[in-house]
Amino acid sequence: MNLKQRDRKHLWHPLTQHKLHPEHLPIVRAEGVWLFDDEGNKYIDGIASWYTCMYGHSNPKIISAVKQQLGVLDQVVFSGFTHPPAIELSEKLMDILPDNMAKIFFSDNGSTSVDVAIKIALQYYFNKGEKRNKVIALHNAFHGDTFGAMSVSGLSVYNGPFEDFLLRIERIAVPDEQNWESVVKEFKNLLDTGEVAAFIYEPLVQGAASMHMFAPEHLDQLISIAQKAQVLTIADEVMTGFGKTGLNFASEYMEAKPDLICLSKSLTAGVAPMALTCCSQKVYDAFYDDEISKGFFHGHTYSANPLACTAAIAGIDLLCSEEIQNNIQRINKRHLKFERHISNNPKVKSTRVRGVIFALDLNVQMDRYGKLRDQLYAFFMKEGVVLRPLGNTVYTLPPYVITDSELDKIYEVIEKCLDII
């Protein structure tokens, strides 16, 4: 049997109706921005494998560091023990995180980092003797697939069968110039109940909601309002973190800083699963007590895996390098230039750019996972570029190491797809 046949025998893929999509393309090698299949074809990874491999696949600096660590310490339980890679990673993170961050808690993916943040927020008030059991989230948010993260997500295409089992969530609209007054009024009314433990948000870019972007000024004010009401604020930077919006973290665009930040995806540069929930000293202090029960009793077997920590350290070094910072600015300028070129096309409804993220809405109705979307995806693959349309939204979030000519190839196939709409 070939790889496709062997895959079909036992594997169950994510976000897939296997009766409609029985075959999956075998990728056998990756280097830089390129993916190579089992027949020798190659594809530009235009979404950095779901925003993880931002420094390119098989980056030699990261691979070398992980190989060296593999011969020293591969894994040790993080309860009762610590190790140099975790300590060094915490120190490097504090150098680049918003300056109110003080502690980091390890888990293993974006969803669990959100679950940890929600549990911390709920227990924070429990430890203080206050009953607060509600969380405020934004409409059309996506925070992950585990039950806590799913509760604060608002995309029913993912959550429909489970809505009767989720946490108590209140939702407000994403603020803009038109709805600002009504959003603030609703937000304050919810806070005045005294039942809200936390306000969670994706800062500036709602990734799964078709890369919807909104202004930092409005979010900044909502964070301040929440904090004045003694409500904890949670920034889900799983997608936006580590340079994708132009700054190291999207939270840096606001003056008001979150109480907790969730990080994953490009944290380890795509090398290993790992996540972090970072918090302020104020949050940590609510768990620091003589009573054992006030500790945070949550743990993952692979928390702070030394290999993942080592990959993250190497990734941060690359992120902070002059080369990568210049590349982020170069990609942003190229995106803006392409946006000016394509935005007046009658088949383009709207465009937007933030950092290395470019998104374009096609002027056509389309189901999120419908036939036309699948045709677009197949077209991009045939053209040698991996792009995963979100309904009628075509977007690219390429690795920072992409060249101008490789970017031109992405722009070319995006413009070319307009001919088949």
> Are residues 277 and 361 located together in one domain of the fold?
no
How many angstroms separate the CA atoms of 383 and 18, rounded? 24
List beta partners, residue 260: 234, 279
Query: Residue 169 has what DSSP assignment?
Result: E
Residue from 144, 151, 153 nearest 168 by CA:
151
User: Which of 275, 294, 319 is at the close of a domain?
Assistant: 319
> Are residues 246 and 222 located together in one domain of the fold?
yes
Place of tokens 């990609």: 331
> Are residues 288 and 192 located together in one domain of the fold?
yes
> Are residues 335 and 271 located together in one domain of the fold?
no
- If one counts every other C-beta atom within 10 angstroms of the C-beta of residue 419, the result is 8
Q: What is the pLDDT of residue 323?
A: 98
The domain containing residue 141 runs over which residues?
Answer: 63-319
Strands 348-354, 275-280: pairing kind: unpaired
Give, in order, the Cα–Cα distances in Å from 115 to each of 9, 35, 211, 233: 33, 32, 22, 14
> Are residues 96 and 130 located together in one domain of the fold?
yes
Residue 315 corresponds to which tokens in the numbers above?
């990734």
> Are residues 102 and 235 located together in one domain of the fold?
yes
Contacts of 98 (CB under 8 A, 6+ apart): 249, 251, 252, 257, 258, 261
Q: What angle (nearest 5°) sits at the alpha carbon of residue 305, between those of residues 301 and 307?
A: 150
> Are residues 51 and 174 located together in one domain of the fold?
no
Residue 292 corresponds to which tokens in the numbers above?
């054992």
> Are residues 53 and 100 located together in one domain of the fold?
no
Domain count, the chain: 2
> Are residues 24 and 106 located together in one domain of the fold?
no
Phi then psi dihedrals of residue 315, to 5 deg: -65, -45
CATH number of the domain bearing residue 46: 3.90.1150.10
Tens of each residue's pLDDT in the chain, 421 residues: 999 999 999 999 988 889 988 999 999 999 999 999 999 999 999 999 999 999 999 999 999 999 999 999 999 999 999 999 999 999 999 999 999 999 999 999 999 999 999 999 999 999 999 999 999 999 999 999 988 888 898 866 667 788 778 888 999 999 999 999 999 999 999 999 999 999 999 999 999 999 999 999 999 999 999 999 999 999 999 999 999 999 999 999 999 999 999 999 999 999 999 999 999 999 999 999 999 999 999 999 999 999 999 999 999 999 999 999 999 999 999 999 999 999 999 999 999 999 999 999 999 887 766 788 889 999 999 999 999 999 899 999 999 999 999 999 999 999 999 988 7
> Are residues 120 and 245 located together in one domain of the fold?
yes
Burial class (CB in 10 A: 0-12, 13-18, 19+), 12: exposed
> Are residues 273 and 306 located together in one domain of the fold?
yes
Q: At what angle do helices 322-342 and 306-319 cross, to 10 degrees?
A: 70
User: Which of 268, 288, 319 is at the close of a domain?
Assistant: 319
Residue 105 corresponds to which tokens in the numbers above?
């808690």
- If one counts every other C-beta atom within 10 angstroms of the C-beta of residue 27, the result is 18
Residue 115 corresponds to which tokens in the numbers above?
């679950």
> Are residues 327 and 366 located together in one domain of the fold?
yes
